[in-house]
Amino acid sequence: MIYIALLVVLVGIELLYFKIADKYNIIDKPNSRSSHTTITLRGGGIIFPIAICIAFILGYVSWEIALAVVIVAVVSFIDDIKPLSQLPRFASHVIAVGLVFYDLNLFTESLWILPIVFVLLIGWVNAFNFMDGINGITVLYALTAIISFSVLPTQVSSLPLLITMGLSCFVFGIFNVRKKAKTFAGDVGSISMALFLGYFMIKTIIVTNQFGYILFFSVYGIDAVVTILNRIKKRENIFEPHRSHLYQYLANEMSFSHVLVAVIYAGLQLGINGLIIYMDNQGNLSGLFILELLLTLTLAYLLLRALVVRKMNKMDL
């Protein structure tokens, strides 16, 4: 019953935000780098940090994680309205990561571990944010991760929090997973959700003592890393907006439906996650299997990307 009430509250909050965004002209105007062609309300992903705040009030999440998400959400929302310099954005990420480390007691671990986890978490947050480019992809991918975490026996105590965040994704998805989106997540949504998912990933690895669960983020991870390497090779500024992810090629140059591409990415990741969970339950999630699966996925991605680029080049001739 509480989740039904929570769903109604979240829908009401999202609709209220739409009125505020419309009144104060918080919009996303399409440009040459955009994958959309019409003016759309920006920042609908504010429902994610709001859901975290509600979860904190209900006792589902610690103050450290709630505060970490709120900090990056506030700075990101300001950046959505009026672009900020790199310093305040990076500072908010560092403080948030510190709070995540504190919550997970990582400061008591060996000091050499912290820089590695720090770089991975910061990298994940930014990669997840950069991947937010077409209707549905961010929310469906996030929902896939949340569902996957929810079925793990080690996360039973976290189910109320995961359900709450899942409901916020459902509410946002109503207005975003469509041919013509009513709203985009904005940095406030993508960065706060990325931090939340990153926190759960680290927590899962710690609790299960199984690094293989990092493959829950493999589809995004491979696309992001390969795209960054390609842009570095072309001497492009990797921090500037672009349209060179594979999903952007499919949606923009190949004219695939945005929602279809988003469903493919989320569906593929869900299948991988199911395999990871199955192999762990069978006691076969070894380091060798993880490496083989990662290499197989990377090679498959590179092959598909090469085929798509070749077809795009032929279309330009």
pLDDT at residue number 258: 94
Number of structural domains, the chain?
1
pLDDT at residue number 31: 53
- Annotate the chain with three-state secondary structure: CHHHHHHHHHHHHHHHHHHHHHHCCCEECCCCCCCCCCCEECCHHHHHHHHHHHHHHCCCCCHHHHHHHHHHHHHHHHHHHCCCCHHHHHHHHHHHHHHHHHHCCHHHCCCCHHHHHHHHHHHHHHHHHHCCCCCCHHHHHHHHHHHHHHCCHHHHHHHHHHHHHHHHHHHHHHHHCCCCCCECCHHHHHHHHHHHHHHHHHHHHHHHCCHHHHHHHHHHHHHHHHHHHHHHHCCCCCCCCCCCCHHHHHHHHCCCCHHHHHHHHHHHHHHHHHHHHHHHHCCCCCHHHHHHHHHHHHHHHHHHHHHHHHHHHHHHC
pLDDT at residue number 234: 87
C-alpha angle 79-80-81 in degrees, rounded to nearest 5: 90
Structural domain for 57, as ranges = 2-316
Q: What is the pLDDT along the chain (317 residues), one digit of tens a residue?
A: 799 999 999 999 999 999 999 998 898 766 545 555 567 899 999 999 999 999 999 999 999 999 999 999 999 999 999 989 989 999 999 999 999 999 999 998 778 889 999 999 999 999 899 887 789 999 999 999 999 999 999 999 999 999 999 999 999 999 999 988 999 999 999 999 999 999 999 999 999 999 999 999 999 999 999 999 999 888 888 777 778 899 999 998 888 999 999 999 999 999 999 999 999 999 999 999 999 999 999 999 999 999 999 998 887 76
Q: What tokens were used for 155?
A: 């996360």
Q: What tokens were used for 240?
A: 């500037």
- Calculate the CA 74 to chain-centre distance: 17
pLDDT at residue number 131: 83
The reported pTM is 0.94
Q: Using alpha carbons, select from 274, 266, 106, 130 the residue that is nearest to residue 194.
A: 130
pLDDT at residue number 49: 98
How many residues are present in the chain?
317
pLDDT at residue number 146: 98
pLDDT at residue number 37: 54
pLDDT at residue number 35: 53
Signed CA dihedral, 183, 188, 194, 199: sign only:
negative
Cβ contact 205:211 at 8 Å: yes
Amino acid letter, 105: N
Count CB neighbours of 262 within 10 A: 25
Amino acid letter, 109: E
**What are the phi and psi torsion angles at 131 (to 5°)?**
-80, -5
